[in-house]
Amino acid sequence: MFVADPIFVADVGRTSALYGRYVANENPVKGESVAHLFPDLLDVAAHLVKPRTGICLVKMCDQVHSGRYQWQVFELVAEAQRRAWTACQRKIVPNADLGRIRDQQHKRQYHTRNECAEWIVLRTGSACHGPGRRLKHECTCTVCGATFSARRSDARTCPGSRCRQRRHRADEAA
């Protein structure tokens, strides 16, 4: 699995309150969007994950730049799909800090504040399923009526041997 948390704010001026938080001095991002970074990010991910079952988890956020809303999350997914990755899931995570950041240079607000980041799950290959995880099956014991978690969905008695022996004896008598 490859986890990426790339910068998602482009062209932040040196006098901005956001500069120290979002920009690395040695590599500032220029332009209206960070979409030009996605090909390199996906190239690195492709080298690090398994060819058919690899997962790339990317944290991304949209931004407003020069009065235009930049749909960076959709641009990331589109670039991934052009490279034969499959976008399997997105999780929207509220982050109150994103809404509180204010730049003193802004006089008007034309778009709503984006207070959420999105985690995008990308997989190499055409299927979204992976090895998965074992789910516990909630069953009811046919002998005592208690609810229990079973490893198999067809379990009929509690994990203890007492109910299993009772059921076995009842089956033999019948």
The angle subtended at Cα 106 by Cα 103 and Cα 111, nearest 5°, is 100
96-118 pLDDT, tens digit each: 665 555 555 556 556 566 667 88
Q: Which residues of 1-36 are buried (b: 16+ CB within 10 A; e: fewer)?
A: ebebeeebbbbbeeebeeeeeebeeeeebeeebbbe
Per-residue model confidence (pLDDT) at position 132: 62
In angstroms, rounded to a whole number, what is the distance separating the alpha carbons of residues 139 and 163? 14
- Work out the pLDDT band at 122, boundaries 50, 70, 90: very high
22-75 pLDDT, tens digit each: 666 656 667 677 788 889 989 999 999 988 778 899 988 777 666 677 788 888
Per-residue pLDDT averaged across 80-93, rounded? Answer: 89
Residue of 130, 106, 45 lying closest to 80 (CA atoms): 45
Q: For residues 24 and 95, state if they share a domain.
A: yes
Q: For residues 46 and 112, state if they share a domain.
A: yes
Q: For residues 9 and 64, state if they share a domain.
A: yes
Q: For residues 48 and 82, state if they share a domain.
A: yes
Based on the structure, what is the number of domains in the chain?
2
9-21 pLDDT, tens digit each: 666 666 666 666 6
Per-residue pLDDT averaged across 106-131, rounded? Answer: 72
Tell whether 132 is covered by a domain: no
Range of the domain at 95: 2-124
Q: For residues 27 and 75, state if they share a domain.
A: yes
In angstroms, rounded to a whole number, what is the distance separating the alpha carbons of residues 59 and 61? 7
135-170 pLDDT, tens digit each: 667 777 888 888 777 777 677 777 777 787 777 777
Tell me phi and psi for residue 20, to 5 degrees: -65, -25
Tell whether 129 is covered by a domain: no
In angstroms, rounded to a whole number, what is the distance separating the alpha carbons of residues 8 and 37? 10
Q: For residues 36 and 98, state if they share a domain.
A: yes
Q: For residues 97 and 13, state if they share a domain.
A: yes
**Is 0.75 topped by the overall pTM?**
no
Is the pLDDT score of 79 beyond 90? Answer: yes
Tell whether 131 is covered by a domain: no
In angstroms, rounded to a whole number, what is the distance separating the alpha carbons of residues 87 and 76? 10
Per-residue model confidence (pLDDT) at position 18: 63
Q: For residues 16 and 73, state if they share a domain.
A: yes
Per-residue model confidence (pLDDT) at position 137: 72
Q: For residues 95 and 158, state if they share a domain.
A: no
Tell whether 130 is covered by a domain: no
Is the pLDDT score of 95 beyond 80? Answer: no
